[in-house]
Structure 1
Amino acid sequence: MSAHKSSRPLFGTGGLTGVHEADATLRQAEQADRQGLDLFTVSDHPYFGGRLDGYSILGVALGRTRRISGLVGVSNLPTRPAPMLARQITSLSALTGGRLVLGMGAGGLWDDIEKMGAPRLGAGAAVRAMEEAITLIRALCGGGERVTFEGEFYQVHDLDPAPVPAPPVWTGSVGPKSLAVAGRVADGWLPGYAADWLSDRYRESRPLIDEAAASVGRDPSDIVTVYNLPGLITDRPLDSPRDKDGRWVGGSAGQWIEELTGAVLEHGAAGFVHFRVDGDPTPYDVTLGRWAEEIAPAVREAVAAERG
């Protein structure tokens, strides 16, 4: 899966991950696939006993669907050693016909990560480990010569790469060093804290990705920006789709269509993953249906018409 500035925008849905929500999670994935969405994403917090494992969700969900791609957004790297993560993603990719995006994160909740036996890394070391992991995972994809890798965090010796192409890699980079990693080695970026295209976080962060990409001879536009976007999808327009601080809160299908079309055409957005907000009184399948069957097709059509 890819999305560049010349292609149609991607639309996804953020999946439920509670153990008690397992059936609803699979119904959500099947509905999203049936209604034409591009991406089904789940979070990765393996230290919480009440959460389903992200890659287990994708394995079952992608097995029940035909077109939609899956993303663990983002993989909790400190608890998923890169060589084993490489085997997971190449296996899933082979089993699903390549319907996979690899989300990568440096790690965040370190007190919880340590409880699983993973060593705590400082911020700089965690980012270096992420870049090293992306490099190693790519080396272990696509066949070719056996891999020996002597890194700061990972060492493998004479390891056979899987004969499966590497999926696109999207990072959840937040800090300057992590954003630079996205520019150097990633294919996409998921802005943290649900920041959107009008936020200070985006305006201050995206140039760091572009500068890092250019510094290694990459075209910055090859690193797409896909937004995690929580919000209400209402049956009538809201007085304002943004709050007093300018943060998107949602609105009617028409308000979403206008906003997202502008995000693509004026701000270069490559895609959007919708998340239901807590307290939304609308049934989940209705919200997902509005997103998939009303908003996504209309934005795609408006973008295509504008781009000719």
Structure 2
Amino acid sequence: MRELYFGAGVSTALAGAADTLRHVSLLDDAGLDVFTVSDHPYFGDRLDAYSMVGVALGRTERISGLVNVTNLPSRPAPMLARAITSLSAMSGGRVILGMGAGGSWDDIARLGVPKLPPAAAVRAMEEAIILIRALSGGGEPLTFDGEFYHVKDLPPAPVPAPPVWTGSVGPKSLAATGRVADGWIPGHAADWLSPRYRESRPVIDEAAAAAGRDPADVITVYNLPGVITDRDLPSPRDDQGRWRGGSVRQWTEELTGAVLDHGASGFTYFAPGHIPTDKHLSRWANEVVPAVREATAARK
């Protein structure tokens, strides 16, 4: 069984910066694999995602950081390459590159970024992933003349590129994920039993195979909101089949099945309302995650 990733999303609220740093330390101490932050630079009351990741990595020892997912249109690929390789170098490789084509274009345009049609935005994302990898790992100066990015005689950083996970939703974006990404974060909190997952994952697999890749090399890591209750809920899923949470036992049973029966490679927990507290994160990190790790290891 491949490596499993267990993570949690933390707040990007400017007013909650101290709580966010404490929460990341809590996750690190508990042995989680990754913390994630959102990227909405057009909101003045939010912290900058990459500044957050940098400071948090500097205060932790084991956990990796992930921007879930990077607002690519506002972060040109050559500069993003420098940022991500710098973070990797300073943290001992504790970073994952989350990539998105851009979803809230009206908000993005307020930053002065020209709007791209959806198909062009996806092409820009795929090109950016290729360029960022080319600007990592050392080698001769790079000249790249793409559709969206152009660099000349630019030396790559002598740091390996991190894994790249996308937040792809549409068919063109899913196909790009299959061709060039290492992981997929299903959009809209879709899980392994949802129609969105069942319809989307084959697009990734077919594109990966057509590109000469093993589809299994593109892992699936789920954003998973929900409550963690003291007692079992009558049903951990609602009438539409969407996961809503339950007791530690119910979470353990559900996630163990997701790994062993549906090939899940990881889970990022989001507290109710996406406003984590010490209690939410502690129950996830210290009760649910160890139980799922033990259960999956026992059934290998």
Question: What TM-score range do you get, normalising by the shorter chain?
Answer: over 0.9
Q: 1:197: which partner in 2?
A: 192
CA distance 1:48–1:207, change in 2 (3 Å): same
Q: 1:116: which partner in 2?
A: 111
Offset at residue 304 of structure 1 (A): 1.1
Q: 1:267: which partner in 2?
A: 262
Query: 5 Å matches for 1:155-166?
Result: 155-166=150-161
Q: 1:258: which partner in 2?
A: 253
State whether structure 2 residue 129 is matched by structure 1 residue 134: yes
State whether structure 2 residue 33 is matched by structure 1 residue 38: yes
- 1:30-60 CA distances to partner (integer Å, 9 max, x unpaired)? 0000011101000000011111111011001
Aligned-partner Cα distance in 2 for 1:49–1:255:
39
- From 289, 294, 297, give the equivalent of 1:301: 294
Aligned-partner Cα distance in 2 for 1:298–1:237:
16
Aligned-partner Cα distance in 2 for 1:187–1:103:
10
For the Cα contact (< 8 Å) 1:8–1:304, is it kept in 2?
no
For the Cα contact (< 8 Å) 1:8–1:300, is it kept in 2?
no
Give the letter aligned to residue 2 of structure 2.
Answer: S
Which runs of 4 or more aligned residues in structure 1 lie more than 3 Å from their structure 2 counterparts after TM superposition? none
CA distance 1:265–1:22, change in 2 (3 Å): same
- From 55, 58, 62, give the equivalent of 1:63: 58
Aligned-partner Cα distance in 2 for 1:227–1:32:
18
Aligned-partner Cα distance in 2 for 1:301–1:156:
48
Aligned-partner Cα distance in 1 for 2:274–2:250:
20
Give the letter aligned to residue 157 of structure 1.
Answer: K
Q: 1:88: which partner in 2?
A: 83
Q: 1:99: which partner in 2?
A: 94
Q: Percent identity?
A: 70
- From 265, 268, 277, give the equivalent of 1:284: 277
Give the letter aligned to residue 288 of structure 1.
Answer: L
Equivalent residue of 1:183, what SS?
Answer: helix
- From 8, 12, 20, give the equivalent of 2:7: 12
Aligned-partner Cα distance in 1 for 2:2–2:278:
28
Q: 2:21: which partner in 1?
A: 26
Offset at residue 145 of structure 1 (A): 1.2
Q: 1:182: which partner in 2?
A: 177
Q: For structure 2, which runs of at least 5 residues remain unmatched after alignment?
A: none
- TM-score, with structure 2 as normaliser: 0.99
Q: 2:164: which partner in 1?
A: 169
Q: For structure 1, which runs of at least 5 residues remain unmatched after alignment?
A: 1-5
Give the letter aligned to residue 288 of structure 2.
Answer: I
For the Cα contact (< 8 Å) 1:8–1:303, is it kept in 2?
no
Give the letter aligned to residue 51 of structure 2.
Answer: S
Q: 1:3: which partner in 2?
A: none
Offset at residue 279 of structure 1 (A): 9.0
Offset at residue 197 of structure 1 (A): 0.4
- 1:101-153 CA distances to partner (integer Å, 9 max, x unpaired)? 00000001111111101110000000000000000000000001111000000
Cα root mean square deviation, aligned: 1.0
Aligned-partner Cα distance in 2 for 1:277–1:289:
14
Offset at residue 235 of structure 1 (A): 1.1
- TM-score, with structure 1 as normaliser: 0.96
Q: 2:231: which partner in 1?
A: 236
Aligned-partner Cα distance in 2 for 1:123–1:37:
35
- From 40, 49, 52, give the equivalent of 2:47: 52
Aligned-partner Cα distance in 2 for 1:49–1:278:
20
- From 146, 149, 154, give the equivalent of 2:149: 154
State whether structure 2 residue 214 is matched by structure 1 residue 214: no
For the Cα contact (< 8 Å) 2:11–2:274, is it kept in 1?
no
For the Cα contact (< 8 Å) 2:14–2:47, is it kept in 1?
yes
